[in-house]
């Protein structure tokens, strides 16, 4: 008997425990996986129970559970008891050799910390190139304003996560660093030329295009598609993300509940999938919105299923290094 493909969606949940209504909804719609935020994270035992309950709801022990645990302003695990992870920009100002070593070690530590909780995908590295003139929604979430440094440290951190058994997600394709407003609140409009974008913003993504998972940015690029932001633009996804950058991994939307995208939430999901995104990501755990997204999503497409299987194959068995030794080496560098 051939099992049906899961839904092309990833959902959040409302709190630290899975409600009966949420479990029933997830059982019925069978999303590919889930994503956790700070509101879902209280203690080691609690998070382990939650990740177990989410997988039990869909009946798949391998359903991916995501987190965007970047460090700095975007830390989902409370400190204490978990370590305070530095912002990516802290690594970017280190001498090159130390920066690369620290980024890789940080990735290894993240893998140990998250896999211990049942989280197996981290929405890192952020490959956006920091633009001092842009809105600080990216800011120190970027490693650097130098695209070659961003690429080098993004590669090191992704390699560290993969070596530890954790899947990385490159974001926000094809680049969010120039955005002049916060895409959580409104739609950024970038007017840079294709040449400027190719030489700067696209470069880290092109250098890491072989990685298996990626996420779009809710940014409108007037020189690429004057009417649709990247997440909803078939032109940008096909011609620039897939062809120019060369990314052929599984492509998630950024959170569909962000205010950069107009229209009803289900319509956003449908338009993103029609444009070429593989997975609709909805994060806030609001039941009505999740039902609307689910109604707009079909099962994972054949190409998306192949991309997901390639992603799983890229993950390595974790190295047996001791956590405290890795942490001491990391902290010695920063």
**Catalytic residue annotation:** 184, 254
Q: Rounded distance, CA 62 to CA 33, Å?
A: 9
Sequence-separated (6 or more) residues with CB below 8 Å from residue 282: 9, 10, 11, 12, 255, 256, 257, 265, 269, 289, 290, 293
Task: For residue 194, list its beta bridge partners.
Answer: none
Smallest CA-to-CA distance from 75 within 36, 104, 49, 47 is with 36
Smallest CA-to-CA distance from 138 within 93, 190, 74, 208 is with 74
Smallest CA-to-CA distance from 38 within 18, 20, 14, 60 is with 14
Q: Rounded distance, CA 315 to CA 272, Å?
A: 27
Q: Rounded distance, CA 74 to CA 292, Å?
A: 27
Q: Rounded distance, CA 16 to CA 255, Å?
A: 20
Q: Rounded distance, CA 31 to CA 40, Å?
A: 18
Give the pair of three-digit tokens for residue 44. 């080691």
Give the pair of three-digit tokens for residue 274. 């029609």
């Amino acid at each position: 008997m051939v099992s049906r493909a899961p839904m092309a969606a990833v959902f959040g949940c409302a709190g630290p425990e899975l409600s009966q209504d949420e479990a029933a909804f997830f059982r019925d719609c069978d999303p590919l996986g889930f994503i956790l935020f700070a509101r879902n994270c209280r203690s080691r035992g609690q998070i382990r129970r939650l990740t177990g309950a989410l997988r039990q709801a869909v009946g798949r022990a391998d359903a991916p559970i995501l987190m965007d645990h970047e460090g700095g302003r975007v830390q989902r695990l409370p400190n204490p008891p978990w370590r305070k992870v530095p912002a990516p920009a802290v690594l970017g100002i280190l001498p090159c050799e130390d920066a690369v070593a620290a980024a890789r070690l940080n990735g290894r530590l993240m893998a140990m910390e998250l896999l211990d909780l049942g989280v197996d995908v981290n929405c890192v590295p952020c490959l956006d190139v920091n633009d001092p003139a842009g809105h600080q929604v990216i800011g120190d979430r970027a490693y650097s304003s130098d695209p070659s440094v961003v690429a080098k440290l993004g590669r090191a951190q992704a390699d560290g996560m993969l070596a530890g058994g954790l899947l990385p997600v490159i974001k926000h394709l094809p680049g969010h660093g120039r955005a002049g407003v916060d895409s959580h609140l409104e739609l950024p409009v970038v007017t840079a030329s294709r040449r400027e974008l190719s030489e700067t913003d696209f470069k880290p993504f092109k250098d890491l295009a072989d990685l298996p998972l990626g996420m779009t940015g809710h940014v409108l690029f007037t020189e690429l598609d004057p009417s649709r932001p990247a997440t909803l633009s078939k032109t940008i996804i096909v011609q620039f993300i897939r062809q120019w950058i060369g990314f052929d991994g599984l492509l998630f939307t950024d959170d569909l509940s962000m205010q950069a995208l107009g229209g009803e939430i289900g319509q956003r999901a449908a338009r993103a999938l029609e444009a070429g995104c593989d997975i609709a990501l909805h994060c806030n755990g609001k039941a009505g919105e999740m039902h609307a997204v689910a109604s707009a999503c079909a099962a994972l497409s054949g190409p998306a299923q192949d991309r997901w299987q390639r992603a799983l194959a890229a993950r390595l068995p974790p190295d047996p290094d001791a956590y405290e030794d890795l942490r001491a080496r990391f902290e010695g560098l920063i």
